[in-house]
């Protein structure tokens, strides 16, 4: 039986490695010419050709050198693709591999990885390393860079490059209450057992949470526009001190990519301008804007503990779910994940993806800003390297939860944690509000 488990894990790893690589090429060499791949579309982002070679270099470091003990293929390029050596703004001036060199390099790494997989022992019950966590880490890492590449596409100017996607889900019918109540009580935060969980999601631990209300759905463009039209950006009452300073310094008076068109709002989306859909979750707001909106609405952002409890806790059985709807893998009726569409679905979609307390769209559509600073859970143990999470603890990052339409299902679950600076707007982030009960 152990051998059968091992074969099943290896087959999944091989399939997922193939699937994510198709996605990466679909965002780079399949859709953009050489000039566009090496260009820097925004100071905030890497040239796409950097992300492409970086995911292969990361795969070489972890799956060939660390897991399989294979000698470095091109040690001289490690420095170029070390995210801590060179900030994004500096990457275009490095002697990077060109698009075809990068494709060849990552393809060769991949062939060696698949060859080495045969001889590996991945017994599920031993340490995380032996149970194949590094393989899942590398797969998730590439998907995370693919989402970053989509943010680069959104910032890019010029003719649309991305292909058409699935239509939006059918409009929901029936009434969706504005808020749901989460009763006071203990719940289990984090996980110790999920084979895909990063170190920052571990370990599972009990947390006592006072009762609170949380919005059933993310804040929509229409609701956010009311804040804008009400002069929300001009009233310091709604803003934190740092947020007001950001507002003054940045000159921003609406979410990124919004365009005023007389009485109407439009938005630029992957190279096309369209009327702003009022019922779509707002995207491209920074933490300061989310925090100000919540105060204007008489509410606040949820803590990440509240967010996770509302998404995952089944009070009647006192059990925790991997996804809001249960432990089954996401399907089309549960959530808008995996880049099936290049946009969030209307608020109130996916009744089949509701959490036990009735919150909808907790996973997919938009990342949700929480009020929490990014730190380690109690009992945090760095694994397998400090630069994934630990070096970011206490360094001014805010936690985001739930994944976006651009997040792949294997990099999304109730315990998954993302983080960014409170000024960042290029990620596919929105929010929902909460309040004390």
For residues 255 and 285, the answer to whether their CB atoms sit within 8 Å is yes
Q: Per CB under 6 A, does 152 bind ligand AVJ?
A: no
In the DSSP assignment, the letter for residue 65 is I
Q: CB of 268: closest distance to ligand AVJ in angstroms? A: 23
**Residue with smaller CB distance to ligand AVJ, 313 or 369:** 369
| Binding region for ligand AVJ (CB under 6 A) out of 16-24, 64-72, 144-152, 326-334 | 144-152
Beta strand 429-430 with 367-373 is parallel
Q: Per CB under 6 A, does 377 bind ligand AVJ?
A: no
Q: Per CB under 6 A, does 91 bind ligand AVJ?
A: no
Q: CB of 68: closest distance to ligand AVJ in angstroms? A: 21
**Residue with smaller CB distance to ligand AVJ, 148 or 154:** 148
Q: Per CB under 6 A, does 57 bind ligand AVJ?
A: no
Query: Which three-class secondary structure state does DSSP give residue 233?
Result: helix
* Structure token pair of residue 127: 């340490």
Q: CB of 145: closest distance to ligand AVJ in angstroms? A: 6
Q: Please work out the total of residues on this chain that contact ligand AVJ, with binding judged by CB under 6 A.
A: 7
Q: In terms of Cα–Cα distance, which of 284, 304, 299, 333 is closest to 399? A: 304
The correct pick among 24, 57, 148, 336 for binding ligand AVJ (CB under 6 A) is 148
Q: Per CB under 6 A, does 349 bind ligand AVJ?
A: no
Phi, psi of 184 (to 5 degrees): -65, 150
Query: Which three-class secondary structure state does DSSP give residue 46?
Result: coil
Residue nearest to ligand AVJ (CB): 144
**Residue with smaller CB distance to ligand AVJ, 133 or 419:** 419
Say how many residues make up the chain. 437
Q: Per CB under 6 A, does 123 bind ligand AVJ?
A: no
**What's the CA gap between 144 and 330, in Å, rounded?**
18
The correct pick among 418, 422, 429, 434 for binding ligand AVJ (CB under 6 A) is 418
**Residue 4 CB-half CA count within 13 A:** 1
Q: CB of 357: closest distance to ligand AVJ in angstroms? A: 27
Q: Per CB under 6 A, does 375 bind ligand AVJ?
A: no
**What's the CA gap between 93 and 99, in Å, rounded?**
15
Q: Per CB under 6 A, does 141 bind ligand AVJ?
A: yes
Residues in 379-408 that interact with ligand AVJ by CB under 6 A: 388
**What's the CA gap between 184 and 181, in Å, rounded?**
9
Sheet containing strand 417-420, edge to edge, reads: 417-420, 398-401, 367-373, 429-430
For residues 365 and 344, the answer to whether their CB atoms sit within 8 Å is yes
Q: Per CB under 6 A, does 419 bind ligand AVJ?
A: yes
10 Å Cβ neighbour count for 264? 10
Q: Per CB under 6 A, does 191 bind ligand AVJ?
A: no
**Residue with smaller CB distance to ligand AVJ, 312 or 418:** 418
- Binding region for ligand AVJ (CB under 6 A): 141, 144-145, 148, 388, 418-419
């Amino acid at each position: 039986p152990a051998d059968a488990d091992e074969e099943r894990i290896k087959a999944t790893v091989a399939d997922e490695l193939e699937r994510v690589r198709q996605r990466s090429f679909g965002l780079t060499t399949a859709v953009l010419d050489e000039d566009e791949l090496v260009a820097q579309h925004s100071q905030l982002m890497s040239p796409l050709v950097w992300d492409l070679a970086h995911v292969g270099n990361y795969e070489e470091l972890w799956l060939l050198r660390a897991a399989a003990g294979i000698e470095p293929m091109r040690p001289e390029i490690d420095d170029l693709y070390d995210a801590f050596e060179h900030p994004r703004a500096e990457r275009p001036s490095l002697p990077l591999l060109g698009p075809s060199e990068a494709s060849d390099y990552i393809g060769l790494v991949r062939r060696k990885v698949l060859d080495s997989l045969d001889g590996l022992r991945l017994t599920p019950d031993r340490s995380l390393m032996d149970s194949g966590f590094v393989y899942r880490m590398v797969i998730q890492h590439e998907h995370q860079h693919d989402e970053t590449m989509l943010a680069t596409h959104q910032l890019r100017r010029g003719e649309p490059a991305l292909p058409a996607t699935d239509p939006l889900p059918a409009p929901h019918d029936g009434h969706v209450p504005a808020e749901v109540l989460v009763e006071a009580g203990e719940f289990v935060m984090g996980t110790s057992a999920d084979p895909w969980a990063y170190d920052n999601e571990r370990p599972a631990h009990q947390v006592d949470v006072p009762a609170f209300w949380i919005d059933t759905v993310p804040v929509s463009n229409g609701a956010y526009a009311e804040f804008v039209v009400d002069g929300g950006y001009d009233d310091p009452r709604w803003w934190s001190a740092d947020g007001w300073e950001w507002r003054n310094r940045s000159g921003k008076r609406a979410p990124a990519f919004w365009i005023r068109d007389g009485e109407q709002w439009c938005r630029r989306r992957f190279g096309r301008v369209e009327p702003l859909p009022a019922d779509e979750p707002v995207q491209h707001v920074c933490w300061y804007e989310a925090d100000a909106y919540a105060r204007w609405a008489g509410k606040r952002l949820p803590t990440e503990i509240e967010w996770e409890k509302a998404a995952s806790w089944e009070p009647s059985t006192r059990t925790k779910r991997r996804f809001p709807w249960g432990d089954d893998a996401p399907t089309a009726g549960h959530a808008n994940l995996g880049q099936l569409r290049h946009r969030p679905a209307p608020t109130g979609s996916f009744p089949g993806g509701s959490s036990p307390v009735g919150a909808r769209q907790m996973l997919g559509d938009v990342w949700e800003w929480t009020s929490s600073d990014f730190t380690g859970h109690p009992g945090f143990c760095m694994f397998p390297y400090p630069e994934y999470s630990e070096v970011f603890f206490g360094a001014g990052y805010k936690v985001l939860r739930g994944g976006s339409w651009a997040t792949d299902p294997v990099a999304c679950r109730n315990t998954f944690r993302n983080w960014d600076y409170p000024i960042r707007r290029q990620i596919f982030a929105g929010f929902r509000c909460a309040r004390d009960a």
